[in-house]
Structure 1
Amino acid sequence: MDVNGIVKLDFFINADSDENIFQGAQEVLSVIRPQWQTIDIMYKMLSDGITNKLVRCKVKDGADHEAVLIRIYGNNTDMLIDRMAEKRNIKMLNQFDMAPTLYATFKNGLAYEFVPGCTLMSKTVSQPEVYPLVARQLAKLHKLKVNGKDSASLEPVLWTRFDKFMKLMPDQFTNEHINKKFLNMKLSKSQILDEIDTLKSHLVHLNSPTVFCHNDLLLGNVIFTKMANNNDDKVTFIDFEYADFNYQAFDIGNHFAEFAGVDNVDYDFYPSKELQYSWLRVYAEEFNSPDGAEVSDAMLDTLYVQANQFALASHLTWGIWALIQAEHSDIDFDFIGYSSIRLTEYFRRKDAFLSLELPNES
């Protein structure tokens, strides 16, 4: 157990079958929940994750808030994710009550607090009782002073992450069916590199500040908890695998792009200009507090342009990510199809978004 009270377990969980996952989960629980009787424990595989395998563990007739969530890392995801940094991030965010409590780590996963509630969906993320909670929570995350670091002086992770992803992206795929699908996309590695360079030439001039970002705020990573008093409703962000210092507008634009969902992607759900401005006003009011700086029209116009142009970076990021996953992941998900959807949306929106202009400084 470390100084934060987190148990470190020296074993792997075999994720080849649900039975093996449940058996491994029981080993974890025997250490962190020794009072639970094995015969009373109920396991439920969750379907929200497309990177990892998730199992909720609770005792029969136990309260949801007493449950434990065990996450087993996906195959070869260490190529994409710095697991040590992820654990540091969760421990740090626990101190600010910004992430579920981490109970234990093992060689290929984590055990942490299960947050009762519902993950967001495309039809709920835009509801007026939901989106302001997300906007405020993201602003609070962006305001954090992490380890005393001046985020303004730090290099955003976006470009180094692109470099890393492009080095991992396969030139061709082992699976012949997947390789054929990739060839049908008619998009080469060199073309993607050109798009990254083009995008960078635009985005670096937007002057979006560097803040501590979640970087993966898809709908499944936001838990909405309904309380008896509606004024106490809350959202909780989970899965900080990709959290790091990055452009503020990337986190916002990425979240807007995720309104479309993952399993059945529909970009008709991409937030309208009106909804974006309402969302951005709530965000800016929280981000500027407690200084009380007035949220001006120019400030909202700037955030609007920045968020939509950085949404293009989101499409490229996850389009490339999905190509890597298509080669290495053992999760049952159409990664090559998802990559095609994200990259197609990038090209569909590219000209319109890059034509947006920042307000004149006057």
Structure 2
Amino acid sequence: MTNAVFFVSCSRVEGTRILLLRIYGPSSGALISRPKELQTLHVLSSKYHIGPRVYGTFENGRVEEHFDATTLTAEDLRDPQISSWIGARMAELHDVDVQDVEEARGEDSHWDIAAMQNVQSWLIFAREVLALPGVSGDVLRALDLDAFESQWRQYAHWLQEVESAEGVSRRVFAHNDTQYGNLLRLKALKDGMPEHRQIIVVDFEYSAPNAAAFDIANHFHEWTVNYHSDVPHQLKPVLYPSKDERRNFYRSYITHTLATADAPAYVSDEERDEAMARLDRQVRVWSPASHAMWAVWGVVQAREMVESKDGESEFDYLGYAACRMEGFRREVSALGLSI
């Protein structure tokens, strides 16, 4: 939603490839380290064959590999086969050695997980936006960042206690933004390529170490929004995947996670069911964190709109932030937290 993408070709010269030209969007510089993103893309594409190769960069964009593929739609996420493929691809990304990426990005071995780090660092910029004169009182009351910051601290403390008692969700290298616009489907598979590899994950702007359950929960929230509808900023909880739809995703995710780990060659149906139930619980307790992170993100992205530098915005970032904030508060309440 924040980048402009163009396809570049030269039909007069035979044998030339189509390239993708990406122009970075406004306000993204406050949220994203472009040098780190480029290092991430290099490690993932060269060592793990995940994502596009980058051919060149300039101040506000880059030129990268183009895939002969179609972008998934909101409806595609609900297709059981496609959903299982996404689960498999997410498992492969989560198998990436975090240190491989973090060392390339110049980080030390004591990294913080993205969900916690982003909320805290982005709140500073969000407060600056809400202090601008163009923000209405209704928006300030709906978001109430002072109350949110207190609620976030209480939730984070509760989450720590839950993980201490029930077990920690694996810390992995996560995409953190697997919405349908960041998922491609190849038009043709190479011989011998597993069918789930026709799903290509792109746009690693927000990728970072995180809880695996956060990445999955965030993807499930993306089932509830259609960025090409009349109300692209609104999430509809009724569209959240059902128990059977989540189990379909988990089954594929767990199968491919075991395939890349030192796991027993045989896992019984009972053991698999227990693993799915455990993962579903972890996803549920991490789910509010997704709402929190993107609520704060929406406020920061609204700066251009609030300052009226961009005219009529195509996307209501403050409306999106309010929707996500409502989701955070609704879900922590459903988990039994009195905040």
TM-score normalised per structure 1: 0.76
Question: Retained in 2: the 8 A contact 1:152–1:209?
Answer: no
Aligned equivalent of 2:249, options 272, 276, 279: 279
Question: Retained in 2: the 8 A contact 1:152–1:211?
Answer: no
What amino acid does structure 1 have at the position aligned with 2:254?
A
Counterpart residue number, 1:324 = 300
Q: Following superposition of structure 1 onto structure 2, how do residues 154-233 of structure 1 map, counting pairs within 5 Å?
A: 154-170=111-127, 172-174=130-132, 176=134, 178-185=135-142, 187-204=143-160, 205-206=162-163, 207-227=168-188, 232=195
Question: Retained in 1: the 8 A contact 2:91–2:253?
Answer: yes
Counterpart residue number, 2:291 = 315
**Deviation, structure 1 residue 179:** 3.0
Question: Retained in 1: the 8 A contact 2:83–2:248?
Answer: no
After superposition, the Cα gap between the structure-2 partners of 1:180 and 1:274, relative to the gap in structure 1 and judged at 3 Å, is same
- 1:260 match: secondary structure: coil
Query: How many angstroms apart in 2 are the aligned matches of 1:123 and 1:173?
Result: 38
Question: Retained in 2: the 8 A contact 1:124–1:130?
Answer: yes
What amino acid does structure 2 have at the position aligned with 1:90?
L
Counterpart residue number, 1:16 = none
Counterpart residue number, 2:207 = 243
- 1:211 match: secondary structure: strand
After superposition, the Cα gap between the structure-2 partners of 1:279 and 1:62, relative to the gap in structure 1 and judged at 3 Å, is farther
Counterpart residue number, 2:272 = 296
What amino acid does structure 1 have at the position aligned with 2:207?
A
- 1:130 match: secondary structure: helix
After superposition, the Cα gap between the structure-2 partners of 1:354 and 1:127, relative to the gap in structure 1 and judged at 3 Å, is farther
Question: Retained in 2: the 8 A contact 1:253–1:309?
Answer: no
**Deviation, structure 1 residue 296:** 2.8
Query: How many angstroms apart in 2 are the aligned matches of 1:121 and 1:342?
Result: 21
After superposition, the Cα gap between the structure-2 partners of 1:133 and 1:192, relative to the gap in structure 1 and judged at 3 Å, is same
Counterpart residue number, 1:121 = 73
Query: How many angstroms apart in 2 are the aligned matches of 1:180 and 1:118?
Result: 42
**Number of corresponding residues:** 304
After superposition, the Cα gap between the structure-2 partners of 1:199 and 1:62, relative to the gap in structure 1 and judged at 3 Å, is farther
Aligned equivalent of 1:268, options 234, 238, 262: 238
**Deviation, structure 1 residue 184:** 5.0
- 2:178 match: secondary structure: coil
Counterpart residue number, 1:81 = 32
Counterpart residue number, 1:349 = 331
Structure having greater relative contact order (Cα 8 Å, sep ≥ 6): 2
Query: How many angstroms apart in 1 are the aligned matches of 2:206 and 2:336?
Result: 26
- 1:105 match: secondary structure: strand
Query: How many angstroms apart in 2 are the aligned matches of 1:190 and 1:61?
Result: 59
Question: Retained in 2: the 8 A contact 1:98–1:237?
Answer: yes
Counterpart residue number, 1:20 = none
What amino acid does structure 2 have at the position aligned with 1:78?
G
Counterpart residue number, 2:221 = 257
What amino acid does structure 2 have at the position aligned with 1:347?
R
Q: String of CA shifts for 1:255-282, please: whole Å, max 9, x gaps.
A: 1111112523433221111111121111
- 1:88 match: secondary structure: helix
What amino acid does structure 2 have at the position aligned with 1:253?
A
- 2:55 match: secondary structure: strand
- 2:177 match: secondary structure: coil
Q: String of CA shifts for 1:23-43, please: whole Å, max 9, x gaps.
A: xxxxxxxxxxxxxxxxxxxxx
- 2:78 match: secondary structure: coil
After superposition, the Cα gap between the structure-2 partners of 1:138 and 1:152, relative to the gap in structure 1 and judged at 3 Å, is farther
- 1:283 match: secondary structure: helix
- 2:81 match: secondary structure: coil
Query: How many angstroms apart in 2 are the aligned matches of 1:284 and 1:316?
Result: 26
- 2:76 match: secondary structure: coil
Q: What's the C-alpha RMSD, in Å, of the aligned pairs?
A: 2.8
Query: How many angstroms apart in 1 are the aligned matches of 2:95 and 2:132?
Result: 44
TM-score normalised per structure 2: 0.81
After superposition, the Cα gap between the structure-2 partners of 1:152 and 1:255, relative to the gap in structure 1 and judged at 3 Å, is farther
- 2:284 match: secondary structure: helix
After superposition, the Cα gap between the structure-2 partners of 1:349 and 1:159, relative to the gap in structure 1 and judged at 3 Å, is closer
Question: Retained in 1: the 8 A contact 2:22–2:62?
Answer: yes
After superposition, the Cα gap between the structure-2 partners of 1:118 and 1:261, relative to the gap in structure 1 and judged at 3 Å, is farther
After superposition, the Cα gap between the structure-2 partners of 1:292 and 1:136, relative to the gap in structure 1 and judged at 3 Å, is same
